[in-house]
Amino acid sequence: MNHWLRWFGVVTIVTGSVLLFAVATGGVAGDSGIRGFFPAHVEAERNLEQKLQAIPDAQRAEANLRRLTSEPHMAGTEASHRVAEWLRDQYRSFGFDAEIVSYSVWLAQPREVKLELIAPEKKSLATREQPFEGDKDTYDERAVVGFNTYSPSADITASVVYVNYGTPEDYQQLASIGVSVEGKIAIARYGHNYRGIKTKLAEEHKAIGLIIYSDPQDDGYVAGDAYPRGPWRNMTAIQRGSVLYTEIYPGDPLTPGVGATADAKRLAPSEAANIAHIPTMPVNAQDGAAILANLGGQHVPRGWQGGLPFTYHVGPGDAEVHMKLVMDYQQRPIYDVIAKLRGTSDGEWVVMGNHHDAWVFGAVDPNSGTSVMLETARALGQLVRSGWKPRRTIVMCEWDGEEPGLLGSTEWVEENGSELQAKAVAYINTDVGVAGPNFGASATPSLKPFVREVVREVQDPRSGKSVYETWRERLAQAREHPSGVARPEPAADASGDVPLGALGAGSDFCPFFDHAGIPSMDVGFGGDYGVYHALYDDFYWMKHFGDPTFVYHATLARILGTVVLRLDEADVLPFDYSGYAAEIGRAAGDLVARARSQSQDEAKLKPIADAAAELSAAADRAAKALQSASAAPMDAPREARINRALVTVEQAFLAPEGLAGRPWYKHTIYAPGSYAGYASEVMPGVSESLDRKDAATLRREEDSLIAALRRAAARLDDVTRLASGI
């Protein structure tokens, strides 16, 4: 899985030798300072970062990736266990205490996947991906067939209706022209929403099954040359993936909210709210074409025509298909690797993670990130051998079972939630670590200025400028010359800074941020990546298209290493709560405007705006107190209490009862949208109940949000008191 892609602040003042802290202000720390560090400690930190940035090596990263992609290693297989054992041993060789933590999860593997067109002609579909001479991995018979995990077994025959991307708006448009999927098999193209949402909507509209195909307009030959000539999806490439309803809850379906240990109390599979009830299967573009070309009915609405060389129709028409899926559900083991570099204080943790399981070889997703994490760990270990001792404990995690539904990370967070909330200062995620040269990041708003500052310190290997400046110039060019194929780039924020996205779901930051309230970020380099979840996401693709010299792997290791060092060594943790409060204030204003546009009583939402203003005032008070306190060194106990208060502001945004209808999600400011899957919804409980015109739920969610904003303001007032010595 994976995905990506802001904010205001108060400019920090540097007077003489005293750095007025850029903590909780969103300001730039200045050329002579580093956000969160006392002036006396800046030189030592810069020297440490310089040493670290000299260590990551492109050839070692390449060797890591070659080893990680040496065999298919899907979650729940012994091959994934072998990868975990190798990773554990690598971390130990770098000086980490590393262990494998196993969980038992409810997980399916395909036993039979069959699809055939039976009218107007007979044709076998569900074709496998074509092997290519020169790429030996494409001949590997251990590669799993194209399937969607957490689909039920089924044996069905029906006519077909085309539903475009299968979004709520698409179903509304079908209804407007009198077309229903009830009793039919829907066919949707990949894109615009998470595949599990496509299944959920098809189920809600009473389809009996769903086929998802890859349209060449979205990531195939319309975008550019297809594999093996270029990086884009060819006509036989299949996007595997999960259809678990992770917007309800991720992780093991049978143990929501608790770790899936051997003795955990489990639901019956029929009780699991996040498992689909209709079968879903993915097919490649050539099989999609065989079905779509035979659909009758009306010509598709504007915007529904894809890249296949014929006119699309919505159906049903003559096309009839037979789908048979036999899925083998069992309790299967998954294997997380947890590696710790012990700090002077084990009471604070800097946590980093990525997953190691892949649908097939997973050169980009996820093992580019895994390769980079190994280089980061090697660099940190080398610093320790040279005499450095981490201030905080560094925890590096390699998750299993991410692809089926964030299984490994969710189970670990659920099992260790209390300790994490007491110790973790931040979670750093990378997943699709390197797919090209284009840096992107998402983060909790309190860490967005921090991310920008770090990438100002690392050189981009292609441009020779900083990663930040290269990133900024690329986004400016994208806005001036927008592509008709690529996703639109986000606009710069009001401060003129490069924008970072909001955290939604789709990767392993989700349980840390959305469930446990740990400040989180997700970083990586993107590019022209058309082989997502396909057989062709292998070492050959990376070597020829993604990062042929592996210099961006080494660059990402420098970025991650610098992020870790700054969070590990900071005197006062570098959170920007003025910026966070500003984002919340704007979102509250947007809610009021939406209520007005929907002819709802916007005055009822004014208490949210008032609570957001209280939070903003508290953040400003904390910023001023921290600036004053930075004029002289603090004693260690006071510093520790301030840091603990700063970290727990994020946790204050959690609602103990969770969001209405999906209580696993506890963050009141950010969560994946109920019908988006990956994309973040801001103030999700209020926003979604407002759109549904559900007055009772709106009142409940409004009260929950206001309480959270006031809790966060109280935590910031604690920071003010501690910084003021009161």
Catalytic residues: 402
Distance CA 104, CA 332 (A): 5
Which residues have C-beta within 8 Å of that of residue 169, sequence separation ≥ 6? none
Looking at residue 674, the DSSP 8-state letter turns out to be: T
Question: What's the per-residue H, E or C state across 571-591?
Answer: CCCCCCHHHHHHHHHHHHHHH
CA 290 to chain centre: 34
Are 98 and 91 contacting, i.e. CB atoms less than 8 angstroms apart? yes
How far is it between the farthest Cα atoms of the chain?
82
Please report, in angstroms and rounded to a whole number, the separation of the first and last CA atoms in the chain: 47
Distance CA 646, CA 667 (A): 17
Peptide bond between residue 316 and the one before it cis (omega within 30 degrees of 0): yes
Which residues have C-beta within 8 Å of that of residue 328, sequence separation ≥ 6? 108, 109, 110, 111
Distance CA 281, CA 258 (A): 30
Burial of 41 (0-12, 13-18, 19+ CB in 10 A): middle
Which residues have C-beta within 8 Å of that of residue 637, sequence separation ≥ 6? none
Distance CA 371, CA 385 (A): 21
Are 227 and 530 contacting, i.e. CB atoms less than 8 angstroms apart? yes
3-class secondary structure, 560 = helix
**712: its two tokens:** 């966060």
Looking at residue 605, the DSSP 8-state letter turns out to be: G
CA angle at 536 for the pair 535 and 537, rounded to the nearest 5°: 95
Q: What are the phi and psi torsion angles at 683 (to 5°)?
A: 50, 60
Distance CA 605, CA 324 (A): 50
CA 635 to chain centre: 38
Burial of 157 (0-12, 13-18, 19+ CB in 10 A): middle
Nearest-Å Rg of the Cα atoms of the chain is 25
Among 148, 127, 162, 177, which residue's Cα sits nearest to residue 308? 162
Element at 474 (helix H, strand E):
helix 467-480
Are 126 and 145 contacting, i.e. CB atoms less than 8 angstroms apart? yes
Owner of token pair 């050329």: 31
Distance CA 678, CA 70 (A): 30
